[in-house]
Structure 1
Amino acid sequence: MNNVNLIGYLGKDFEIGNTNSGKLYAKNSLAITKRWKNEKGNDESSTTWIPIVLFGKSAESASTHIKKGSQFACSGELSSSKYLDEAGNTRTILSVIVSKFYWLGKKDSKDTPQITQEPPKEPRVEYEHPTINIESEEIPF
C-alpha cells in the first residue's frame, strides 16, 4: 500500500503548469514541523519540506483558493523521479501526488483551527478525485 497523510503549512503559493501531455498540475512544498523538548528541557524543533503535486481540477481549485501560509492536510501516494543536476549527477526526489486534500485555514489567522478532536472553526474545502495515471517523466520535478 502506498498511502501518505500529511498536515502542514504551504511554503508558497501554488505554481501552475502543464505536463508534456497537457495535464494541468499545481506544485508546492508542505512544511511539517516536529517539536520536542531536549534532555535539558529546552524546546527544539525541526522542519521538513515535502514537495506535493496536484493534477486536474484539484490543481485548479487549490491554486485558486489556497495561498502561502495556509494549513493544508492531504492524502496521496509517494512518488519518486530522477533528474540530472548541474554537475551531471543523477538525483532522486520524492514527492506526494495528492489525491485528496483539506484546507484548514491561514497560519496567521487567529481563527485558525487547531488539530483537535473538535471540528475546525473555519469551513474546510475537500476535494477528492479518482487516481490519475501519470508517467514519472510528466512529474514537473
Structure 2
Amino acid sequence: MNKYIVNGNLVKEIDLQFVAGTGTAVLKNTIASKRKFKEKGTDEYKSDFIPVVAFGKTAEFIANNFIKGQGIQIEARMQSGSYEKDGVKHYTLEAVVENVEFYGSKKNQGNTNSFGEDMTPVDDGDIPF
C-alpha cells in the first residue's frame, strides 16, 4: 500500500497549468509540514518541505479554494522519478494528491460570496448603531 497523509501550509502561489493537447489540469506546489518535536538547543520546530502534484478536478479544486500560506491536508501516494541534466541523473520524489481537505483556519481572502463579488459592508454614516 502506498498511502501518505500530511498536513501543513502551501508554500507557493497557486499556479494551475493545463497540458497541451489533453487539457488536463496540473498543479504543482510544496507543503511545509512542521515536525512534532522541537529541536534540541534551539527550542524551535523544524519543517519538512514536501513537493506535491495534483491532476484534474483535484488540481482545479485546490486552485479555486486555497491560497499561499493556507493550511491544507492531503492524502496522496508517493511517486518517484528521475531525469538527466548535463549528464547527471537526478532522482525525484513527490506526493501525488488523491484527496484534499481544509486544515486549520482559512486565510482571510476578503468578504466575497460564491460568485466572487465583493461583500464588504459600506458605512455611509446612516447606520444607527
Q: TM-score, normalised by structure 1?
A: 0.66
Where does the alignment leave 5 or more consecutive residues of structure 2 unmatched?
Answer: 109-129
Task: Work out whether 1:80 is the aligned partner of 2:75.
Answer: no
Quote how far apart the aligned CAs of 1:21 are.
5.6
1:1-141 to 2 correspondence within 5 Å?
Answer: 1-19=1-19, 22=22, 23-34=24-35, 35-38=37-40, 40=41, 42-85=42-85, 87-105=86-104
What is the aligned-residue RMSD (CA, Å)? 2.1
Quote how far apart the aligned CAs of 1:105 are.
4.4
For residues 95 and 44 of structure 2, the distance between their equivalents in structure 1, rounded to whole angstroms, comes to 26
Quote how far apart the aligned CAs of 1:88 are.
2.4
Count matched residues: 106
Q: Are residues 37 and 105 of structure 1, via their aligned partners in 2, closer, same or farther at CA, if it must alter by over 3 Å?
A: closer
Contact 2:12–2:30 under 8 Å retained in 1: yes
Where does the alignment leave 5 or more consecutive residues of structure 1 unmatched?
Answer: 110-141
Higher Rg: 2
> Identity over aligned residues, as a percent?
25
For residues 105 and 87 of structure 2, the distance between their equivalents in structure 1, rounded to whole angstroms, comes to 40
For residues 83 and 71 of structure 1, the distance between their equivalents in structure 2, rounded to whole angstroms, comes to 31
Deviation string 1:90-132 (CA, Å, 9 cap, x unpaired) is 11110011110112245766xxxxxxxxxxxxxxxxxxxxxxx
Q: Are residues 37 and 79 of structure 1, via their aligned partners in 2, closer, same or farther at CA, if it must alter by over 3 Å?
A: closer
For residues 105 and 92 of structure 2, the distance between their equivalents in structure 1, rounded to whole angstroms, comes to 28
For residues 82 and 104 of structure 2, the distance between their equivalents in structure 1, rounded to whole angstroms, comes to 34
For residues 7 and 72 of structure 1, the distance between their equivalents in structure 2, rounded to whole angstroms, comes to 6
